[in-house]
Chain A
């Protein structure tokens, strides 16, 4: 067990230091604050708007109007967080400095991912007034609220892992952002009835089922309904880990370009 811990420690050397540096860097420039403001204003608008969440009109003690639009917000905002993580390092050349310190590529990659994820988690924590309002309206099911926030964190992790791979692929942050949004949108719309119908028509029922199982929205909605299904949790974990592993392989190839 100790040998395994040592090997993992070696494999992910430098994670903690990179995490701390990256997390602080979100608050060292206006970018982090701008992100938080945009996220809070947009999520608030979508939750309260009469055209979208209708939170005030429904007057129900649940957070459905809030959770429903989170993946659609994150599909734009999370790639914006991810785009700089490696593209900027490669553009300024600091990737050479970082990866010649006693840090493994995996450790640096994981450190950056965790920092981005914690930053997104911090942004979600700042939505506490919605929870406060729900508690005032009635007696909410706290289990559903917990699993809803867990779903938000998992979808943030998934999009962040996708965005990071494209940030590792190109030195241009704008290109990384566009590719990150595009790939994330594909996984988001894959589960929409119209998409599934089109896939079924073009490629057959088997591919329709595959597409449905790869849909982030389906698994997200399962969790926001309060159903902590292992299948959905595993989906997010495997999805995120796969994209992280792909990103590490990509960076190994592109770091010196």
Chain B
């Protein structure tokens, strides 16, 4: 009871976790917590250490330093208990190809000693939309279906912690949307950690984003906060009327650049001006006041892209 009280919210605790392969620092002393209701997205270039970190959290890899606790259980010394509470989808969703989908899920249910395995299998099949292929051998399935089989085995025991290594890799846009909805539905009472290369996915489903590079955490924040810090966040794009005289465009540019909240004004294309605001602030109203009377084809407030921040932070690291 006491244990449940202590760990009510924090379901994954990672403390100074490190893994080295010779001189390569795959994971270099990372620490973080994941709480119930969190959907944490690991972002990073290839070889950043995302998968290695996930393998250590699940207990597959032993760390060279540090500790992981899952639902209050130490992964190193209470491995069975912690693994009972984790649903894990490894990279590429490996499974036993010669087995049928149903047979494979029954095997997972048996390993997990589920009391009503038939119901658990049925529920996992329904959640992941595998009804049509349940009697088919896994090796004959498409990549998308194989990924869904991997998701089904990770969900079969309704775990407190879900760890998904690239869960939508190989899925078509419709299937991706289904997985996103599924994760969003599951998120309320679970801690979910997922890794992805798809930045839109982070924006769509993650409540928290961690950018990892060279085994270290570079950023740990909400996607909205990260977007606020994206290089082009709140940039105002003005589309000027094509027939405007060059000197009036130059005058407007001059007026805008003299404003104290303006860092600079770019002209990326003919009759287009982009105003970079100081500290990413929203100066749309001030801009509108300044351009009053000038003929415009359009005005746009850019949200900024996670992509740009990601590229800026991981610059120089092979993607």
Contacts and interface: CB of A to CB of B under 8 A. Distances in A.
Contacts of A13: 80
Given A10-B80, A93-B94, A99 B60 contact: yes
Given A102-B80, A256-B55, A94 B111 contact: no
B45 interface: no
A100 B61 CA distance: 10
Given A10-B80, A100-B58, A20 B110 contact: yes
A104 B95 contact: no
B98 A102 contact: no
Contacts of A103: 111
Contacts of B107: 17, 20-21
Contact of B92 (A14, A20, A93, A256): A93
B98 A29 contact: yes
Interface stretch (B10-18, B82-90, B207-215): B82-90
A255 B95 CA distance: 16
Interface string B111-144: 1110000000000000000000000000000000
A25 interface: yes
Interface residues of A, number: 24
A28 B99 contact: yes
B108 interface: yes
B112 A101 contact: yes
Contacts of B61: 256
A187 to B, nearest CB: 32
B123 to A, nearest CB: 18
Report the contact-size class of chain B (Cβ under 8 Å from the partner): 20 to 34
Contacts of A101: 83, 108, 111-112
A5 interface: no
A66 to B, nearest CB: 33
Interface in B170-223: none
B231 interface: no
A96 interface: yes
Nearest to A14: B111
B159 to A, nearest CB: 11
Contacts of A16: 110
A104 B96 contact: no
Q: Tell which of A25, A29, A94, A97 has the most Cβ of chain B within 10 Å.
A: A97
A101 B95 CA distance: 13
Contacts, number: 62
B44 interface: no
Contacts of A94: 94-96
B41 interface: no
Interface string B216-242: 000000000000000000000000000
B92 A97 contact: no
Contacts of B110: 16-17, 20
B97 interface: yes
Given A17-B110, A256-B61, A100 B83 contact: yes
A24 to B, nearest CB: 8
Interface string B48-68: 000000010011110000000
A25 B91 CA distance: 24
Given A17-B107, A103-B111, A256-B61, A97 B95 contact: yes
A224 to B, nearest CB: 36
A194 interface: no
Contacts of B111: 14, 17-18, 101-103
A2 interface: no
Interface of A: 10, 13-14, 16-18, 20-21, 25, 28-29, 92-94, 96-97, 99-104, 255-256
12 contacts: A10-B80, A17-B110, A17-B111, A93-B90, A94-B94, A94-B95, A94-B96, A96-B90, A100-B59, A101-B108, A101-B112, A102-B111
